[in-house]
């Protein structure tokens, strides 16, 4: 296994979720809305994530998660990390 400095292999998306999203827009099915509270043992617990509509999800393709993305919180508990694995 080769170890590299993160600054040579990544780029940072510094946005906090979808602009203007309210908890009233959370739904039972649809694309996942991942928050720091969903980070469990440094991975995302998909079973506890909220969902948002496809319309809202498609408004921000630049923050849609991909497998193996590394997430770092900057609010709530700053510095909490999780890896996107087994994305449904």
* Residues of the chain above pLDDT 70, percent: 94
pLDDT at 1: 84
- For the chain, what are the domain ranges? 23-83
Instruction: Report d(CA 27, CA 43) in Å as an integer.
Output: 22
pTM for this model (two decimals): 0.78
Q: Which of 57, 46, 51 is nearest to 86 (CA)?
A: 46
Instruction: Report d(CA 3, CA 61) in Å as an integer.
Output: 30
Whether 79 has a pLDDT exceeding 70, the answer reads yes
pLDDT at 5: 87
> For residue range 16-57, what is the model confidence (pLDDT) as tens digits?
667 788 889 999 999 999 999 999 999 999 999 999 999 999
């Amino acid at each position: 296994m080769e170890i590299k400095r993160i600054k040579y292999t990544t780029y940072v998306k510094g946005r906090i979720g979808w602009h203007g999203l309210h908890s009233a827009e959370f739904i039972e099915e649809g694309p996942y809305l991942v928050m720091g509270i969903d980070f469990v043992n440094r991975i995302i617990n998909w079973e506890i994530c909220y969902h948002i509509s496809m319309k809202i999800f498609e408004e921000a393709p630049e923050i849609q998660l991909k497998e193996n993305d590394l997430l770092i919180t900057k609010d709530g508990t700053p510095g909490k990390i999780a890896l996107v694995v087994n994305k449904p």
